[in-house]
Amino acid sequence: MALRKLRCAIEQLADWHPRLFLEPHAVACAAVLNQYSNSPAVLDVDCENIVSRWLGKATGFRMELSWLPETAEKADRLRSTVQTRPLVEMAAVALGLILAHHVVPLGQLDVTAYGERADYRSLSVPAVLEMSGTESLLELNPRHRDKAAQAAANPFGWDAYVVVCAFLAEGHRVRFSKHRSERSSHV
């Protein structure tokens, strides 16, 4: 069976999440990806416990993410303005929001309060979304494990979706997973 593909443009992000101001995240994503490849960038997405009509029985897919020349110009300026670590985190948020829209439609999202163990919560389904990024393949799995534990401990008692991205010259990798809340078995 052929590997599924998701093709989209980073500039579409704002249309999918109209309540959120996401231009800085979209530009950050282009800034990070543009270091390693031209548009479109190819990302391999590994999925764990993701149930989705779009995904079917697949456990992974390939994402092709493009950006416009105007976005690349803004990305160059942003890279001169923002330190690498926050830039990588913002890029990971952009990718996580794309996955939340296309693969597991979580509907409209709301940013969580500091300390609520996840970045966003769905306004439609009882789920939270936590994202993180790195530029080290060695950090991908440990970071994913840490973020999964963190998000599963959310104070809402909701299931957690976790997206951890590794931006790499040898190929971008994304781990996307769903985790039961630590409190869901007690509720």
Distance CA 116, CA 150 (A): 9
pLDDT at 186: 38
Produce one character per residue of 83-106: b if its CB has 16 or more CB atoms within 10 Å, e if not.
eeeebbbbbbbbbbbbbbbbbbeb
- The closest of 151, 163, 142 to 29, measured between CA atoms, is 163
User: What pLDDT does 29 receive?
Assistant: 98
Compare 183 and 22 and report the one with higher pLDDT. Answer: 22
Whole-number pLDDT of residue 187:
41
| Tens digits of residue pLDDT in 39-73 | 999 999 999 999 999 998 999 999 999 999 999 99
Residue-wise pLDDT for 103-158, tens only, equals 998 999 999 999 999 999 999 999 999 999 999 999 999 999 999 999 999 999 99
Taking the C-alpha atoms of residue 173 and residue 143, their distance in angstroms, rounded to an integer, is 13
Helix H or strand E encompassing 145: helix 137-152
Residue boundaries of the structural domains of the chain = 4-179
Q: For residue 153, which of 113, 183, 121, 185 has the smallest C-alpha distance?
A: 183
Q: What is the pLDDT of residue 19?
A: 94
Which residue in 184, 174, 23 sits closest to 102, CA to CA? 174
Q: What pLDDT was estimated at residue 184?
A: 55
Q: Which DSSP symbol is given to 170? A: T
The pTM score is 0.93
Res 3 pLDDT > 90:
no
What's the pLDDT score for residue 183?
67
| Pairing verdict, β 60-66 and 4-9 | parallel
